[in-house]
Amino acid sequence: MKTGTDRVKRGMAEMQKGGVIMDVVNAEQARIAEEAGAVAVMALERVPSDIRAAGGVARMADPRIIEEVLNAVSIPVMAKARIGHIVEARVLEAMGVDYIDESEVLTPADEEYHLYKSDFTVPFVCGCRDLGEAARRIGEGASMLRTKGEPGTGNIVEAVRHMRKVNGQVRKVVGMNEDELMTEAKLLGAPFELLLEIKRLGRLPVVNFAAGGVATPADAALMMQLGADGVFVGSGIFKSENPAKFARAIVEATTHYQDYKLIAELSKELGAPMKGIEISSLSPENRMQERGW
């Protein structure tokens, strides 16, 4: 009997496919998310848009909030640790969190090194903007990927950019000859063995979800069409006027992402989505996606 194997850690993310993972800040929100059909919740102290508004250093959530959420729902509970913060990650693992997001939404603890995630029993999800970044994270032991997008903006444009970029680069690798892959690995800054594996499988070896800017059911469906395996929704749900209704609509749009009549129906009278931020109005130091490498 073996725990913490790649198969067990990656397999856990496979089970989330086609589903929606929702940011929650307390037990009540977690129950609303579970009731709406979320496949997991991300327990946070503040959603990304509030982290953005508050400024200062954003850290791992208060363990009491995480404990409260762990006790409130039967679906998996994820939590965020700062990039490179070994102890925050170990604390979350010790608490029995089901997945850790080594996340650029929090202020990085290490500007040079990410966590060596293979050392942990608990699986990790990490953000990526391109295949090089995706492959480096998998190389360190990430069992699941997500686009970085631009969290807390309610603007889908960056998530679209990142999903298209990664998938385009995967297609390129799959179409290349083996003798071209080492040079591609050098150019991407990606582990060579992973490119070989991607070529053999015809896809990434782990699931890749959309995250960072999903604000409407149509946004979620768009990301699924672009090849996302599922969707993270952060600020979008509990910053909307009717979170329960909004959450259900996002879940359905993710399942039936090509059923446009249905998406039209469930987008009706949802109330105002979060206001959103135009990306060009964010100065580079305020772009969370620039954190990590």
Partner 1 sequence: MVKVGVLALQGAVREHIRSVEECGVEGIAIKKVDQLKEVDGLILPGGESTAMRRLIDKYGFMDALKEFAAEGKPMFGTCAGLILLAKNLVGHEPHIGVMDITVERNSFGRQVDSFEADLAIKDVSDNFPAVFIRAPHIVEAGAEVEILSKHNDRIVAAREGQFLGCSFHPELTENHDITAYFVDMVKEAKAKQLV
Report the binding-site residues.
23, 152, 164, 213, 234-235
- Binding segment for partner 1 (CB under 8 A), chosen from 23-31, 32-40, 185-193, 281-289, is 32-40
- Give dist(CA 107, CA 98) in Å, integer: 22
**Helix (H) or strand (E) segment spanning residue 166:** helix 157-175
Does 37 bind partner 1 (CB under 8 A)? Our answer is yes
Among 48, 84, 108, 123, contact with partner 1 (rule: CB under 8 A): 123
Work out whether 198 is an interface residue with partner 1 (CB under 8 A): no
Q: Which residues contact 263 (CB under 8 A, 6 or more apart)?
A: 217, 218, 221, 253, 256, 257
Q: For residue 59, give the amino acid letter.
A: R
Identify the CA nearest to 212 among candidates 84, 19, 47: 47
For residue 182, the number of C-alpha atoms closer than 13 Å in the C-beta half-sphere is 1
CB of 37 to partner 1, least distance (A): 4
Which position among 2, 9, 17, 80 bears the catalytic label? Answer: 80
Q: Which of 22, 25, 38, 47 binds partner 1 (CB under 8 A)?
A: 38
Stretch that binds partner 1, among 118-126, 147-155, 160-168, 209-217 (CB under 8 A): 118-126
Candidates 22, 45, 82, 99; binder of partner 1 (CB under 8 A) is: 99
Binding positions for partner 1, 225-284, rule CB under 8 A: 248, 251-252, 255-256
Residue 293: Cβ within 10 Å count: 14
Instruction: For residue 67, state whether it binds partner 1 (rule: CB under 8 A).
Output: no
**Sheet containing 144-147: order of strands:** 207-209, 144-147, 124-128, 99-103, 77-82, 40-43, 20-24, 231-233
The contact pattern for partner 1, residues 69-88, with x = CB under 8 A and - = no contact, is -----xxx------------
The residue among 86, 204, 92, 192 whose CA lies nearest residue 145 is: 204
- Residue 63 binds to partner 1 (criterion: CB under 8 A): no
d(CA 20, CA 25): 16
Strands 124-128 and 99-103: parallel
80 is catalytic: yes
Q: Mask 155-194, x = binds partner 1 (CB under 8 A)?
A: ----------------------------------------
Task: Provide the Cα torsion 154, 155, 158, 162; round to 10°.
Answer: 60
Catalytic residues: 80
The footprint of partner 1 (CB under 8 A) covers 1-5, 7-9, 11-12, 14-19, 34-40, 74-76, 93, 96-99, 121-123, 248, 251-252, 255-256
